[in-house]
Structure 1
Amino acid sequence: MQISWTTFTVPKRFPLTISRGTTSLSNNVWVQIEADGIVGWGEAAPFSIGEHQQTTAEIVAILEELAPKLANILPWERQKIEHLYREYSVISAAQAAIDLAVWDWLGKKAKLPLWQLWGLDRSCIVPTSVTIGINPPEVARERVSAWLNLTQAKFFKVKLGNPLGIEADKAMLLAIIEALPPTASLSVDANGGWSVSDAIAMCTWLSQWDIKYVEQPLARGQEADLEALKKASALPIFADESCFTSQDIPKLADKVDGINIKVMKSGGLTEAIRMIHTAKACGLQIMFGCYSDSSLSNTAAAQLSSLADYLDLDSHLNLLDDPFVGATLQDGRLIPNDLPGLGVTVG
């Protein structure tokens, strides 16, 4: 198969601030593979978790290195492709771009959307959350109104872990709760921004509200402390930055209640499927998340989303120049279409 790629820049409608900093745009990579006259599409979105960074330049460099190797492999030879990942230590975002393109190609070859190829039921898809970053309370309140006007959202995820401390977190969350419709659901995500003592205090305080779960309360590397936090918390604890692939899940199984699967962390849909089965075998709940992914990657995740308990596939809704069209919002739910493969076209 022949592989090609191009980079594209997507500015955010609302800059997103989390405990580790602020992002206002992303330089993503659109990957295409071609074989037998069929073209499959994939995407890589750079991301950063503390010292773990995957940049656009790194993604492009590894694609350049792999291109001559992939030329001798056919899209359905997925085991050979995975051997290349290991041989060349391919970073997960680059893996994701290739894997999504391969699955898109396979779906187009079969003339079926992936959700149908996998025998899934779109009616099982739950509403996706939309994200409100760390802001002063009055700005956070405005974000609620803006999201409601844009999407009629039914589920909100609030970024906490404010560097100013947990009192700032509480003030912002209270402002958001006042602005939310009474029927809206709510979760919080600290992105590893709390100490153990602050996490215990916040989980206790948050339990008076109808919070669905608390995501990544402690920093990556503090997984040993999650067990004590889980015992002290009245709210479910989900791991995000602490969980990249299926290999991480058994080590977390007695310390959390659920995991956040992102195609850029996992390396694509192939590993995401492994993570789903592993998590379910360990009795954990599942959510799907995203970074600065366009409609291409979020539509890819949506192909599997009937298997998730919670969804946070909203990044493309916050992009001003998303070049792609794919899954559509229907009553707050991101629903993949009937087109073959990923079902993504250029907008």
Structure 2
Amino acid sequence: MQIEVKTFTVNKRFPLTISRGTTAQTTNVWVKISQDNIEGWGEASPFSVGTNPQSTEIIKGALLQVAPMLQAYNPLQRSPIDQVLTKLGIPSAAKAALDVAMHDWLGKYVKLPLWQLWGLDKNAIVPTSVTIGINTPEGARARARDWLQFTDVRILKVKLGNPDGIAADQKMLLAVREEAPNLEFYVDANGGWSLSDAVEMCIFLADLGVKYVEQPLPRGQEKSLPELKQHSPLPIFVDESCFTSADIPHLADCVDGVNIKLMKSGGLSEAMRMVHTARAFGLQVMFGCYSDSTLANTAAAQLAPLADYLDLDSHLNLIDDPFTGAIALDGKILPNDLPGLGVQYSAFTA
């Protein structure tokens, strides 16, 4: 198979601030694989967790390095290819782009959308949340109004973990609640709290009817999760603490669910393994995203019927997304009926 690697830059309508910083623009990587006159597409978006950031340059370099080694393989050989990528230590986002492209190729080869190929039910897809980043109370109100004006939003996911402390978090969340009193709320601290602050905030958020709290403690402090779970009235989900299915057994007794992202897991193959592993341990699952375009989020949407919660909103916040695919309808992100991912290149210039 032939592999083509190119980059494209996307800009956010609203810059997103979390506990670790602010993002307004990203340069993502578009991977195309071709075999037998069929082309499969995948995407890698940069992200940073801990001390091993996966930058655009690192992802692109890894893909260009491995592309010649994979020419002798067929897109149907996902397992042997994965063994090659794992042996070489290819970054997970680069693996994700290749894995998604091979799945897209397969779907086009058999002329079925992936959700149907897997026997899933589109009607089981739950609404997605849309994200409000860390801001002043007034700024957060404005972001809530912005989302309400141009999307059929049902759920707001509010980023907390303000460097100014939990008092600032509380003021911001109360402001957003006043602005959108009829919406459901999730909270993501992105590891921005200490254990004592996390306990206090979980009690505070439970009183406000928040559904769950995601990544309350920093990655590397998983030893404190059992104590937090003991005192928290809210379900605890982990994101940065959980990359692949191998992480789940160690977390199963101290969390209620895991956030699965294609860039962390290394693609749809591992995401599916994570779903089954989480279910085996009685955990809930959600699918999230980084600064992904419609391409990667449509790939995640193919698995969406398996999720309890969805946070696939990054492409909705782009002003220059070069792709079309899954559609936003009634607050949901729904894959279409086209073969493979069902993603097409749009009029925007990548």
Paired amino acid for 1:207: A
AA aligned opposite 2:296: S
Name the counterpart of 2:196: 197
**Are 2:138 and 1:147 equivalent residues in the alignment?**
no
Partner Cα separation in structure 1 for residue 136 and residue 181 of structure 2: 20
3-state secondary structure, aligned to 1:32: strand
Distance in 2, matches of 1:233 and 1:181, equals 23
Query: Take 2:40 and 2:344, find their aligned partners in 1: how far apart are those partners?
Result: 11
Q: State how far apart, in whole Å, the 1-side matches of 2:291 and 2:254 are.
A: 28
Secondary structure (helix, strand or coil) at the match of 1:163 reads coil
1:79 deviation in Å? 1.4
Per the alignment, residue 332 of structure 2 pairs with 333
Indicate conservation of the 8 Å contact 2:5/2:64, yes or no.
Answer: no
Match of residue 279 from structure 2 = 280
The aligned counterpart of 1:294 is 293
Partner of 1:44: 44
1:303 corresponds to which residue? Answer: 302
Q: What are the equivalent positions in structure 2 for 1:15-54 lying under 5 Å apart?
A: 15-54=15-54
- Deviations 1:242-268 (CA, angstroms, capped at 9, x unpaired): 000000000000010000000000000
Counterpart code for 1:226 = L
Instruction: Quote the Cα distance in structure 2 between the aligned partners of 1:223 and 1:196.
Output: 10
**Cα RMSD between the aligned structures?**
0.6
**Structure 1 contact 20–50 (Cα < 8 Å) conserved:** no
Contact in 2 for aligned 1:240/1:260 (Cα 8 Å): yes
Q: Distance in 2 between matches of 1:75 and 1:274?
A: 19
Structure 2: 5+ residue stretches without partners: none
Task: Within 5 Å, give how 1:1-347 maps onto structure 2.
Answer: 1-182=1-182, 184-347=183-346
TM superposition outliers: structure 1 runs of 4+ over 4 Å = none
CA distance in 2, matches of 1:152, 1:65: 42
CA offsets per residue over residues 252-311 of structure 1, 9 Å max, x none? 000100000000000000000000000000000000000000000000000000000000
Instruction: Report the Cα distance in structure 2 between the residues aligned to 1:255 and 1:343, rounded to whole angstroms.
Output: 38
CA distance in 2, matches of 1:216, 1:52: 18
Cα deviation, residue 50, structure 1: 2.9
Cα distance in 2 between the residues matched to 1:56 and 1:76: 27
Distance 2:174 2:152 in 1: 20
**Counterpart AA for 2:278:** A
Identity of aligned residues (%): 63
Q: Which amino acid aligns with 1:185?
A: E
Q: Deviations over 1:140-180 (max 9, x none)?
A: 00111100111120011000000000000000000000011
Conserved in 1, the CA contact under 8 Å of 2:28 and 2:45? yes
Q: Using the alignment, how far apart are the partners of 1:136 and 1:76 within structure 2?
A: 50
TM-score calculated relative to the size of structure 1: 0.99
Structure 1 residue 22, shift from structure 2 partner = 0.5
Partner Cα separation in structure 1 for residue 158 and residue 45 of structure 2: 22
Task: Give the AA of the match of 2:174.
Answer: L
Pairwise CA distance, 1:64: 1.2
Q: Separation in 1 of the partners of 2:19 and 2:50?
A: 10
Kindly provide the amino acid, as one letter, of the partner of residue 111 in structure 2. K
Structure 1: 5+ residue stretches without partners: none
Displacement of 1:181 after TM fit? 4.1
Alpha-carbon distance in 1 for matches of 2:311, 2:40: 25
What letter is aligned with 1:141? R
My pick for the range that moved more, 30-39 or 201-210, is 201-210
Task: Compute the displacement of 1:52 (Å).
Answer: 2.4
